[in-house]
Each structure stands twice: as structure tokens, then as C-alpha cells.
């Protein structure tokens, strides 16, 4: 099996979610550090323009978005499971709700100031053209109350003494809630919100103790060379039904529904109901298949 190569930067909260997946599953992986701001030439060489962090490379297959990373890691390394007990819908639902806290925290951080330098702020304004700091500042108190509500619900979830959010074993829900909650410790205006929540702080320590597995650094040029020398893994299974007017083999673009205006173009190839896969040609990396989760992404004819 080809190496697991995570393209990330250490301060990325969503990358922390994937690093904890490696730890939970006891995996060896290679780390490629990418810039926090654009340009990211080596990264976008592999992704076709996708700029968000992280992505997981396995040979000539590139899996974008932490949700897609979770799917492929669970498929390749099913034990220990990200879905202990098999209650997948509950785990995915709690994971999605927990991550609503991330954007709340980001808006508080931008509105309060003092954490991000000007280069980072300007880069994120390009990523989210509607981000207007003067309009964000007045809503900071409301966002802090929304965060307090989320934190209170997490604290209550742990009230019966359970070790993790859904019981005795950690799940993807814990990793999703952890990276958004631990993120609050980075700013002096949000860190105090965690102090009275004793069960939540103990849970944060338990999740952090999962660790990151066995990490080894890798140069970006070497990761591109690995992709160039590999071939994408053939799809097996039942391909998803497509909307009328779209067939596999069409030229398409993948459009994120959430943050970021950048689309990725390629040829639509067979994939299941939980993912979108497109084949594209890179000058330096050769033939690649780039994968996106079906959730939060659209595929349309180009």
C-alpha cells in the first residue's frame, strides 16, 4: 500500500482532525508542510487549484477535505473504527454539528483582532470575498454566545461520566469536536470560556492523548514525484447515478458550496454516492484522480 501523505500546516485545525485520525488508527504517515496563505504552487499542482487544508495523497490519488480523508482512512484501515458500534449517521451528524463552532470562532477571532497578521487576513479575504471586518465586529458578542451554547451542550453530553462523546471509545465526532474546541484556546477572548467546563477540559486532554501516529517529514517535490510515478487506483463498486445531462467521462468542474471561490476542473470518473472523483493531468505530477466528499461539493458540466 502506498504511503499516506498529509499536505497540511501544523496550525490548521482541520488538519489536526486528520492527524488525530492517524493516531486513533495507529498509522504511519508522511507530512508535507504547505504555506498558510497563497500561493501554494506545489499543493495546487496536486489538487488542481483546491486551496483549503488539508488533503491526503495516496500515490496518484488526492483526497480533499477532512471528511473525504475520514472516508478513505476508514475504508483502508477499518480498525479501530471512526464509527465504533456502527452508528454512522449519529457520528456524522454530531461531527457536522460540532464543526459549526469553527466559523463562529473564526469570526470572533477576526472581529476581536490580535491573533492573525495582515498577510493572513488579506489572504482569507480573497478566499471569502464577503468577509468584511467592520461588519464582523458588531456580531462578535452574538457569536460568543453561540459558542457558549455549543460548549454547554458538549459539557452536558459528558455529564454521565462517559470518556468520549458517544461512549467509552473515541469516534470521528470526538475528533471533529476537539479541533473546533481546542481552537478556542488560541485567543485570549475565547480561552476563558473553557475554564468552568471541567468535564470538557478533561475530555480535551483525553482526545489529545490519542496522538498523531508515526509522523515523518517529506519534501513537497518528493510527494509530487511519488504521484508522478504512481497510477490512480481503479474504482470498484456501484457508481452513483448522475443527474440528467451528465455522464461519466464529461468535462466538469467541482464547486465548493461553503468557503472559497476556487473550482477544480477535470474529467468525471466513476465514484460512489459518497464522493466525487475527477481525473486531471498535471505537468509535474502526471495523471491524478482528485476526490471530494459529496457533502458540501457540487459537480457541474464545464
Cα 222 from Cα 142, distance rounded (Å): 46
CA Rg value for the chain: 19
Which of 166, 187, 208 marks a domain boundary?
A: 208
DSSP label at residue 242: -
Domain count, the chain: 2
Beta bridge partners of 32: 7
Mark whether 19 and 132 lie in a shared domain: no
Q: What is the pLDDT along the chain (302 residues), one digit of tens a residue?
A: 799 999 999 999 999 999 999 999 999 999 999 999 999 999 999 999 999 999 999 999 999 999 999 999 999 999 999 999 999 999 999 999 999 999 999 999 999 988 888 898 888 878 776 677 788 999 999 999 999 999 999 999 999 999 999 999 999 999 999 999 999 999 999 999 999 999 999 999 999 999 999 999 999 999 999 999 999 999 999 999 998 999 999 999 999 987 666 899 999 999 999 999 999 999 999 999 999 999 999 999 99
Mark whether 201 and 54 lie in a shared domain: no
CA-closest candidate to residue 219, choices 34, 22, 4, 10: 34
What is the predicted pLDDT for the residue at 133? 78
Cα 296 from Cα 99, distance rounded (Å): 13
Which of 147, 181, 208 marks a domain boundary?
A: 208
Query: Following CA atoms 171, 172, 177, 180 in sequence, which dihedral angle do they give, to the nearest 10 degrees?
Result: 140
We report the CATH number of the domain holding residue 92 as 1.20.1050.10
Query: pTM above the 0.85 mark?
Result: yes
Cα 14 from Cα 5, distance rounded (Å): 15
Give backbone dihedrals phi and psi of 180, rounded to 5 degrees, phi first.
-75, -35
CA-closest candidate to residue 25, choices 87, 76, 79, 91: 79
What is the predicted pLDDT for the residue at 127? 78
Q: Are 47 and 64 in contact (CB under 8 A)?
A: yes
Beta bridge partners of 214: 28
Contacts of residue 20, defined as CB under 8 A and 6 or more positions apart, other chains included, come to 175, 178, 179, 207, 210, 211, 212
We report the CATH number of the domain holding residue 257 as 3.40.30.110
**Could you tell me the residue range of the domain that residue 41 belongs to?**
5-80+214-301
Work out the number of other CB atoms within 10 angstroms of the CB of residue 96.
14
Amino acid at each position: 500500500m502506498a504511503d499516506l501523505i498529509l499536505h497540511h500546516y501544523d496550525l490548521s485545525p482541520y488538519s489536526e482532525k486528520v492527524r488525530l485520525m492517524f493516531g486513533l488508527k495507529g498509522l504511519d504517515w508522511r507530512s508535507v508542510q504547505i504555506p498558510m496563505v497563497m500561493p501554494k504552487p506545489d499543493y495546487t499542482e496536486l489538487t488542481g487549484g483546491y486551496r483549503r487544508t488539508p488533503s491526503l495523497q495516496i500515490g496518484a490519488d488526492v483526497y480533499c477535505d477532512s471528511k473525504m480523508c475520514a472516508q478513505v482512512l476508514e475504508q483502508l484501515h477499518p480498525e479501530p473504527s471512526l464509527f465504533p458500534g456502527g452508528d454512522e449517521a449519529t457520528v456524522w451528524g454530531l461531527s457536522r454539528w460540532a464543526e459549526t463552532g469553527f466559523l463562529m470562532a473564526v469570526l470572533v477571532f477576526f472581529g476581536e483582532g490580535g491573533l492573525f497578521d495582515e498577510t493572513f487576513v488579506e489572504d482569507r479575504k480573497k478566499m471569502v470575498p464577503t468577509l468584511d471586518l467592520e461588519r464582523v465586529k458588531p456580531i462578535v458578542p452574538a457569536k460568543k454566545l453561540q459558542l457558549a451554547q455549543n460548549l454547554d451542550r458538549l459539557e452536558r453530553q459528558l455529564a454521565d461520566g462517559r470518556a468520549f462523546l458517544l461512549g467509552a471509545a473515541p469516534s470521528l465526532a470526538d475528533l471533529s469536536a476537539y479541533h473546533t474546541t481546542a481552537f478556542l484556546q488560541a485567543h485570549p477572548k475565547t480561552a476563558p470560556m473553557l475554564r468552568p467546563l471541567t468535564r470538557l477540559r478533561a475530555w480535551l486532554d483525553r482526545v489529545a492523548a490519542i496522538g498523531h501516529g508515526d509522523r515523518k517529514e517529506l519534501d513537497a517535490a518528493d510527494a509530487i514525484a511519488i504521484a508522478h510515478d504512481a497510477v490512480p487506483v481503479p474504482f470498484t463498486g456501484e457508481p452513483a447515478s448522475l443527474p440528467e445531462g451528465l455522464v461519466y467521462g464529461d468535462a466538469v468542474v467541482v464547486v465548493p458550496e461553503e468557503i472559497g471561490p476556487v473550482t477544480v476542473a477535470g474529467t468525471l470518473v466513476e465514484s460512489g454516492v459518497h464522493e466525487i472523483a475527477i481525473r486531471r493531468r498535471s505537468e509535474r505530477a502526471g495523471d491524478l484522480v482528485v476526490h471530494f466528499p459529496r457533502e458540501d461539493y457540487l459537480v457541474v458540466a464545464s
